[in-house]
Amino acid sequence: MSAGGFCKLPNGSVVVALTLPSPSPGGGAVRVIAHAVNRARALTRVRNLGLRAVYLRGNAEPPTPDEVTAVLHHPDGLIWRTAPDDVRELWHPIRALRR
């Protein structure tokens, strides 16, 4: 159930979006958005959280403009929320996912 994509920004940085199984016992899925200098670094940021089996194959679900805006305005550059996206739910910092 891993899907995702990326987009390159005009300044050369990359935003990667991944839909992953939720690490919490409740199940479901989460949408993780990471901003980094390049795609490999964005994936490394997610893997460093303990999600080792994260790969990006293709560009089936690139980040939406709202997701790009949200991650660019977050100080950590790494956010998540449950998937499928519920517009009423706010984006969470990645440290909230690990609790």
Confidence of residue 2 (pLDDT cuts 50, 70, 90): low
Identity of the residue numbered 45:
R
As a whole-number percent, the residues of the chain with pLDDT over 90 amount to 47
DSSP summary character for residue 99: -
Q: How far is CA 29 from the centre of its chain?
A: 12
pLDDT digits (tens, 9 = 90+) for 21-56: 877 777 788 899 999 999 999 999 988 887 777 888
Burial of 18 (0-12, 13-18, 19+ CB in 10 A): buried
Confidence of residue 1 (pLDDT cuts 50, 70, 90): very low
Return the pLDDT at 85. Answer: 67
Using CA atoms, how far apart are residues 93 and 20, in angstroms rounded to an integer? 16
